[in-house]
Amino acid sequence: MATEIFVDEAQISVASGAGGSGCVNFRREKFVPRGGPDGGDGGHGGSAILIADRNENTLLSFRSRRDFKAKNGEPGGSSQATGADGDDVTIRVPVGTLILDAEADPGAKPLADLAEDGQHFLAARGGKGGRGNAQFKNSRRQTPDFAQDGLPGENRSLQLSLKLLADVGLVGFPNAGKSTLIRQVSAARPKVASYPFTTLVPSLGVVELGDFRFVVADIPGLIEGASHGVGLGDRFLRHVERTRVLVHLLDLGSMLLEGRDPVSDYRALRKELAGYQPALLDRPELVLLNKLDLVPTEREKDVNELTARLVSMGCTVLQGSGATGQGTKELVVALVRALEETRS
């Protein structure tokens, strides 16, 4: 099986092109004994431009190519011919990419946040072309024998940081059933297995209900201490930041087989979110008691009591199973309602 590779950070160097030099030239015509200066201007150097492209979903390509250089402008020519401008270098990045100055102090504001398809950022402006000697002729200086050099381009080191764009983020401990759920409600096909950290890369799925469409992100499993680097650490927590609604998946299977308390799991998940970014606790959220298919009839009372405990804490609680699809339609309806409320 091919290994899933998801790269959400990269550092690149960009350089714009230098402007072309102006030309020094004088007209040489048989019947014009005193031809004047006619050296043309140099062309402008190309610029380095980053563009958000919805067809890109990872920064993996920047592992093999890190340096990007635009073309220099061409020098001017005789007969006041202007040199050709240098070609720009276009760098396509996934939608949701933050652009930071790699040499800035930690915590500095991003240079750009490419959050929309087609949005672009001018990373390095091309150098201006130099003026030819024809530009320097005036009433006092009839035969200027000099021209202007083109201006140099710019060089920058940039840090790229990808934050996935999704409407809904699925969070939960390893094996809570996030991958199975996203396969159930969308066309996404993340890997599913019964061991920890099955999901090593975030997955996106598009969910449809009538004319309403939204994107769900399956965030790799958290464990206690993730916000401080434990386990997979906070590597994937950044992808929760852009989501509008969170779904906490609590594993009923672990409650039955291991005696875990889902309420404690819920509190621990919120603690990790707060440790990463306190504002995430204010995000609208739903709680899904997952793997309902594993609950025998004699334990249904326990599930209902658990639901009541969570409701008393102010949670909106649903019961369901990503494996069988039970309750997933109700979950989608509730998510549509929550997303509509965030738009009002």
176 and 154 in one domain?
Answer: no
245 and 190 in one domain?
Answer: yes
Identify the pLDDT of residue 27: 85
202 and 149 in one domain?
Answer: no
Instruction: Give Cα 232 distance to the centre of its chain.
Output: 19
Residues near 51 by Cβ (< 8 Å), separated by ≥ 6? 90, 91, 92, 93, 114, 118, 119, 120, 121
Q: Are 182 and 279 in contact (CB under 8 A)?
A: no
Identify the pLDDT of residue 258: 86
Last residue of a domain, one of 147, 162, 177: 162
| 181/320 Cα distance (integer angstroms) | 10
Identify the pLDDT of residue 186: 82
Total domains, the chain: 2
138 and 66 in one domain?
Answer: yes
Q: Exposed/middle/buried for 342, CB within 10 Å: 0-12, 13-18, 19+?
A: exposed
149 and 293 in one domain?
Answer: no
Quick one: which of 10, 168, 166, 39 has its CA closest to 96?
166
pTM value is 0.68
Quick one: which of 87, 15, 77 has its CA closest to 46?
87
323 and 198 in one domain?
Answer: yes
The CATH number given to whatever domain includes residue 221 is: 3.40.50.300
293 and 181 in one domain?
Answer: yes
Last residue of a domain, one of 120, 135, 162: 162
Quick one: which of 70, 330, 342, 15 has its CA closest to 181?
330
331 and 221 in one domain?
Answer: yes
Identify the pLDDT of residue 7: 66
251 and 212 in one domain?
Answer: yes
Q: Residue type for 261, please?
A: D
Using 50 as the pLDDT threshold, list the residues of the chain that sit under it: 1-5, 190-200, 225-233
Instruction: Give Cα 277 distance to the centre of its chain.
Output: 18
The tens digit of pLDDT for each residue in 238-272 reads 778 888 999 999 999 988 888 889 999 999 999 88
Identify the pLDDT of residue 315: 95
Identify the pLDDT of residue 235: 60
Q: For residue 80, give both structure tokens.
A: 């006041």
The tens digit of pLDDT for each residue in 38-64 reads 999 999 999 999 999 988 877 888 988
192 and 62 in one domain?
Answer: no
The CATH number given to whatever domain includes residue 158 is: 2.70.210.12
Identify the pLDDT of residue 288: 97
| 75/112 Cα distance (integer angstroms) | 33
Identify the pLDDT of residue 199: 45
Terminal-residue alpha carbon distance, the chain? 45
Identify the pLDDT of residue 28: 78
Last residue of a domain, one of 162, 194, 209: 162
326 and 193 in one domain?
Answer: yes
Report strand pairing: 97-101 vs 155-162.
Answer: antiparallel
144 and 263 in one domain?
Answer: no
Structural domain including 232 reads 168-343
